[in-house]
Amino acid sequence: MTRIRTVLLGLVVAFAASFAVAAPAHAVSYDNVCDNGEVCLFENQYYGGGKADFHNQIHNYTTYTFFGGCDCLVNDRVSSLRNYDLSYTVDAYTDKWGFGDWLGTPAWGDRPQLSATFNDKFSSHYWHS
């Protein structure tokens, strides 16, 4: 009976361990590294100053700060951006929840110097194909 329990326990542990696989690196977002599949927002023109990277849609930038640079909120402080996704366009909006004026940046595109219409005005972004 002890032998059967030992074998069963070993099977349970092996089964549980099969689910303990680490997530792929590209799934990490907001880690100060501009990975494939992310949009990177920069505090200054030409990708200078603080940086914030996001894999997912962000409805409201007011809870995020730049890494490096000013250590200030991302909201209404973006002056350049790069889209590191190979398939999707990222639309950045001047208001929360995708409202207001928007600027689309195609897959693998960039915006080194935002116009006066958008400079320091983005508050959210969404992906689309």
**pLDDT of 80 higher than 50:** yes
15-24, 27-36, 75-84: lowest mean pLDDT where? 15-24
Tell me, what's the pLDDT at 70?
A: 87
Instruction: Classify domain 25-128 by CATH number.
Output: 2.60.20.10
Confidence label for 7 from pLDDT (cuts 50, 70 and 90): very low
**Angle subtended at Cα 104 by Cα 84 and Cα 48, rounded to the nearest 5 degrees:** 55
Q: Which two tokens stand for residue 112?
A: 């080194």
The model's confidence at residue 123, banded by pLDDT at 50, 70 and 90, is very high
Judged against a pLDDT cut of 90, whether residue 60 lies above it is answered with yes
Q: Left (φ > 0), alpha (ψ -120 to 50) or beta: where does 71 sit?
A: left
Q: What is the mean pLDDT of the chain?
A: 86
Annotated domain spans of the chain: 25-128
* Three-point CA angle 97, 92, 112, nearest 5°: 155
